[in-house]
Structure 1
């Protein structure tokens, strides 16, 4: 009887270890997928926003609206001076909005930043991409054999539209 009982325990332990192992593998794969997705989003945004630094700040602000430059620096691991410089540029380009943080006490109220919606960001980029693609498509039409410009035949074969979706 003790042999049967002894043989059941290792099997039960193996099943539990197998379940834990499978669960751990699934969790690890899910974490890896999220990390790869996040990195892909940052890569895409780096193309749209010109640098990875600006992309990381944008993503952080979408996740943590109304953050100060110090909070952003701490949350992204970027140098505070780098964050302040990038925020100034992003604010000037209207990619982020800033306003003074409200506080009850006296003293210096820092700026809080919020990133614009992704659909608004994409709309701004789409116009530029569309113009560049149409310039390439119309290159032959713009120049005739003599190298003179033919303005009367210009068309816009590329039209890109961005639609808002309800989340």
Structure 2
């Protein structure tokens, strides 16, 4: 079998079966923390420096829409490798929202997702409520805990959030 035929068969299998191995690689993790003054801080683990887009979603469907709503987006075409932290509302450096970050309603659920604009890689996102974030102490990071068939959240330290090979 030639390489061309093999690539074609692989592409068809990925399309037909939606195989996980065919989807973008997961190259980062998103967490939230708070600083000493109580501001919400985005903590992005981006060891490859390839996550250049973040989105904040309202996960509560409205009566007119069954879709989640993007509240704001951040773009950074020169995302640095390593752990990046910035205030959710104000942003920092190249991580600044192009729209005003809305106040988060205590009765709603939100999600923070990240990816590379060309779709080649994703960051493990985080579903959260403002109450979860308010319960954090400075130095604690709320992140997704990925379990078989179920995702939940967990609180970790910055050392636990940072892989050894991610400077």
TM-score by length of 2: 0.22
Higher helix share: 1
- Structure scoring higher RCO (CA < 8 A, sep ≥ 6) equals 2
Higher strand share: 2
| Larger of the two Rg values belongs to structure | 1
